[in-house]
Amino acid sequence: MLLIDCPWCGPRDDSEFQYGGEAHKRRPPAPDQVSDAVWADYLFHNQNPKGLYLERWRHSAGCRRWFNIARDTVSHAVLEVYPADALPSNAAARAVYEQNWRRENEAAANAAAVAETTEIGA
Amino acid sequence: MADVTTQAFSPLDHLNLTVGGPSDAGVSLGERRFVGKLNLRVTPAKIPPAINDLLGGPLPAVGQVTFGGQVMTAWLGPDEYLILTEPGAESALQAALLEGFSGQHVAVTDQTDNATIIRLAGGDARWVLRKGIAIDLHPRSFAAGNCAQTMFERAQITLIQVDDAPSYELIVRNSFAPYLWSWLADASQDVGVRIVRL
The predicted pLDDT at position A16 comes to 95
Evaluate whether B185 touches B178 at the Cβ level (below 8 Å): no
Residue, of B122 and A30, whose pLDDT is higher:
B122
Name the pLDDT band for A121 (thresholds 50, 70, 90).
low
Q: Rounded to the nearest 5°, which phi and psi values hold at B96?
A: -65, -40
Q: Quick one: pLDDT band at residue A89, thresholds 50, 70, 90?
A: very high
Residues of chain B positioned with their CB less than 8 A from the CB of A62: 148-150
Residue A99 pLDDT exceeds 90: no
What integer pLDDT is reported at residue B153 of this predicted model? 93
Nearest-by-Cβ selection for A13 from B78, B80, B134: B134
Give CA–CA dist B126/B177, Å, rounded. Answer: 19
Strand pairing category for B115-121 and B65-68: unpaired
The count of structural domains within chain A is 1
Dist CA B60 CA B79 (whole Å): 11
Task: Identify whether the C-beta of residue B112 lies closer than 8 Å to the C-beta of residue B85.
Answer: no
Q: Which of A4, A6, A8 to mutate to test the interface with B (most CBs of B within 10 A)?
A: A8
Q: How many CB pairs under 8 A join A and B?
A: 31
The dihedrals phi and psi of B195, each to the nearest 5 degrees, come to -85, 125
For A11, the closest chain B residue by CA position comes to: B135
Domain B22-33+113-195: homologous superfamily in CATH: Probable tRNA modification gtpase trme; domain 1 (3.30.1360.120)
Which positions ≥6 away from B134 have C-beta within 8 Å? A12, A13, B150, B151
Residue A53's DSSP bridge partners are A71
Query: In the Cβ-directed half-sphere of B37, how many Cα atoms lie within 13 Å?
Result: 19
What DSSP character marks residue B6? -
Dist. CA B68–CA A2, nearest whole Å: 38
Residues of chain B with CATH 3.30.70.1520: 36-112
Note the pLDDT tens digit of each residue in B37-93.
Answer: 999 999 988 899 999 999 999 999 999 999 998 999 999 999 999 999 999 999 999
pLDDT for A116 equals: 74
State the amino acid at position B109 in one-letter form: T
* Interval A95-99 mean pLDDT: 90
* Residue A56 near chain B (CB below 8 Å): no
Q: Are B150 and A62 an interchain contact pair (Cβ–Cβ within 8 Å)?
A: yes
Q: Residues spanned by CATH 3.30.1360.120 within chain B? A: 22-33+113-195
Mean of pLDDT values over B139-159 = 96
B160 φ, ψ to 5°? -125, 130
Cβ(B38)–Cβ(B83) below 8 Å: yes
| Beta strands B115-121 and B107-110, pairing class | unpaired
Instruction: Report the SS3 class of residue A50.
Output: coil
* Chain mean pLDDT for chain B: 94
A122 confidence band (pLDDT: 50, 70, 90) = low
Domain boundaries, position A62 = 3-121
Contacts 24+ apart (CB under 8 A), A77-80: A78/A2, A78/A3, A78/A4, A78/A5, A79/A52
pTM score, two decimals?
A: 0.88
- What are the pLDDT digits (tens) for B124-138? 999 999 999 999 999
Contacts for B65 with CB less than 8 Å, ≥ 6 apart: B72, B73, B74, B75, B145, B146, B147, B160
CB within 8 Å: A62 and B78: no
pLDDT digits (tens, 9 = 90+) for B163-185: 999 999 999 999 999 999 999 99
* Kind plus residue range of the DSSP H or E element containing B145: none
What DSSP line would sit under A69-122, residue for residue?
EEEETTT--EEEEEETTS---SHHHHHHHHH-HHHHHHHHHHHHHHHHHHHHH-
How sure is the predictor about A109, in pLDDT bands with cuts at 50, 70 and 90? Answer: confident
pLDDT band at A101 (very low <50, low <70, confident <90, very high): confident
- Phi, psi for B33 (deg, rounded to 5): -85, 140
Q: Return the CATH number at A103.
A: 3.30.2270.10
Query: Parallel, antiparallel, or unpaired for β B36-41 and B80-85?
Result: antiparallel
CB contact under 8 A, A63 and B150: no
More confident residue, B20 or B3: B20
**Candidates 3.40.50.2000, 3.30.470.20, 3.20.20.10, 3.30.70.1520; correct CATH number of B36-112?**
3.30.70.1520
Contact A64, A73 (CB under 8 A): no
What's residue B6's pLDDT? 79
> Mind listing the pLDDT tens digit for each residue in A51-86?
999 999 999 999 999 999 999 999 999 999 999 999
Tell me, what's the pLDDT at B108?
Answer: 97
Q: Which residues of chain B lie closer than 8 angstroms to A13, CB-CB? A: 134, 151
